Structure 1
Amino acid sequence: MRRYQMYINGQYVDPASNRWMDSYNPYTGEVWAQIGEGNAEDADVAVKAAAAAFSEGPWSQLTHTERGALLHRMGDLIIRDARKLAETEVNDNGKLIAETEAMIRYTAQWYYYFGGLADKIQGATVPLDKKGYFNFTQYEPVGVVVAITAWNSPLLLAAWKIVAALAAGCTVVIKPSEHASASTLEFAKLFAEAGFPPGVVNVVTGFGADVGSALVEHPLVRKVSFTGSDATGRHINQQAAKHLKPVGLELGGKSPNIVFADANMEDAVKGALSGIFSAAGQTCIAGSRLLLQESIYEEFTEKLVAGAKAIRMGNPQEKDTQMGPIANRPQYEKVLSYIEVAKDDGAELLAGGVAATRPECGNGWFIEPTIFGKVTNTMRIAQEEVFGPILSVITFKDEDDAVRIANDSRFGLGAGVWTKDMGRAFRMANRIQAGTVWINTYRALSFMVPFGGYKDSGIGRENGMAQIYSYLETKNVWINTGAETKNLFVMR
Structure 2
Amino acid sequence: MAAWKLGPALATGNTVILKPAEQTPLSALRLAELIAEAGVPDGVVNVLPGYGETAGAALAAHDDVDKVAFTGSTEVGKLIVHAAAGNLKKVTLELGGKSPNVVFDDADPEIAIAGAANAIFFNHGQCCVAGSRLFVHESRFDEVVDGVSEIARGIKLGSGLEADTQMGPLVSDEQLRRVTGYLESGRSEGAETRVGGRRHGDRGYFVEPTVLTGARPDMKVVREEIFGPVVVAAPFSDLDEIAAQANATSFGLGAGIWTRDIAKAHTLAGKIRAGTVWINCYNVFDAALPFGGYKQSGWGREMGHEALEAYTEVKAVCAQIGG
Normalised-by-shorter TM-score class: over 0.9
Q: Which has the higher strand share?
A: 1
CA distance in 2, matches of 1:241, 1:291: 40
Residue of 269, 273, 277 corresponding to 2:117 = 273
Where 1:394 maps in the other structure, the secondary structure is: strand
Q: Report what 2:56 is aligned to.
A: 212
Partner of 1:435: 275
Maintained 8 Å contact 1:278/1:322: no
Residue matched to 1:289: 133
Q: Which of 334, 355, 364 in structure 1 is aligned with 2:204? A: 364
**Is the counterpart of residue 7 in structure 1 residue 8 in structure 2?**
no
CA distance in 2, matches of 1:191, 1:366: 34
Structure 2 regions of 5+ residues with no counterpart? none
Deviation (angstroms), 1:454: 0.1
Q: Distance in 1 between matches of 2:224 and 2:111?
A: 27
More helix by share: 1
Q: CA deviation at 1:237?
A: 0.6
Which residue does the alignment assign to 1:377? 217
1:231-257 Cα offsets, whole Å, 9 max, x none, are 000000111022211101000000000
- Following TM superposition, by how much is the alpha carbon of 1:205 offset from its aligned partner in structure 2, in angstroms? 1.1
1:339 maps to 183
Q: Is the 8 A contact 1:382 1:392 kept in 2?
A: yes
**Equivalent position amino acid for 2:123 in 1:** A
- 1:31-73: CA deviations, max 9, x gaps? xxxxxxxxxxxxxxxxxx4xx41445xxxxxxxxxxxxxxxxx
2:162 match? 318
Q: 1:240 aligned to 2:84? A: yes
1:303 is the counterpart of 2:143: no
Which residue, out of 224, 237, 251, partners 1:411?
251
Partner of 1:53: 9
- Tell me the CA shift for residue 206 of structure 1: 1.2
Q: Secondary structure at the match of 2:200?
A: coil
Secondary structure of 1:8's match? coil
Opposite residue 200 of structure 1, the aligned amino acid is V
Q: State the match for 1:194 in structure 2.
A: 38
Provide, for residues 353-383 of structure 1, a one-character-per-residue CA deviation record: whole Å limited to 9, x for no partner: 11112xxxx8321111111011222211011
- Correspondence for 1:467: 307
Q: Deviations over 1:102-138 (max 9, x none)?
A: xxxxxxxxxxxxxxxxxxxxxxxxxxxxxxxxxxxxx
Contact 2:63 2:86 in 1 (8 A): no
Q: Residue 424 of structure 1 aligns with which residue?
A: 264
Contact 1:412–1:433, Cα closer than 8 Å, also in 2: yes
Alignment of 1:177-188 (within 5 A): 177-188=21-32
* Equivalent in the alignment of 1:71: none
Q: Whose Rg is larger?
A: 1
**Distance of 2:74 and 2:3 partners within structure 1:** 27
Give the Cα separation in 2 of the matches to 1:6 and 1:469.
32
Aligned residue for 1:225, secondary structure, equals strand
2:104 maps to 260
Q: Does 1:391 align with 2:231?
A: yes
**What code does the residue aligned with 1:302 have?**
D
TM-score norm. by structure 1 comes to 0.64
Which AA in structure 2 matches 1:284?
C
Q: Indicate yes or no: 2:290 matched with 1:450.
A: yes
Number of residue pairs matched by the alignment: 323
Alpha-carbon offset, residue 190 of structure 1: 1.4
Cα distance in 2 for partners of 1:289, 1:5 equals 43
**1:391 Cα deviation from its structure 2 partner:** 0.7
Contact 2:191 2:212 in 1 (8 A): yes
The reply on whether 1:354 has 2:310 as its aligned counterpart is no
Report the TM-score when normalising by structure 2.
Answer: 0.97
Q: Give the Cα separation in 2 of the matches to 1:454 and 1:469.
A: 17
Is this contact kept in 2: 1:256–1:288, CA < 8 A? yes
Q: Contact (CA 8 Å) 2:107, 2:258: kept in 1 or not?
A: yes
One of 230, 241, 265 as aligned partner of 1:401:
241
Q: Which amino acid aligns with 1:353?
A: G
* 1: CA distance, partners of 2:252 / 2:32: 33
Distance in 1 between residues matched to 2:79 and 2:268, nearest whole Å: 33
Give the SS at the match of 2:232. strand
Residue 136 of structure 1 is matched in structure 2 by: none
User: Partners of 1:7 and 1:178 in 2: how far apart?
Assistant: 17
Contact 1:279 1:323 in 2 (8 A): yes
Unmatched tracts of structure 1, length 5 or more: 10-48, 57-142, 144-169, 484-492
Paired with 1:460 and 1:405, the residues of 2 have a C-alpha distance of: 25
Please tell me whether the aligned partners of residues 373 and 394 of structure 1 are also in contact (alpha carbons under 8 angstroms): yes
Cα deviation, residue 318, structure 1: 3.0
SS in structure 2 of the partner of residue 224 of structure 1: strand
Aligned match for 2:20, one of 176, 192, 201: 176
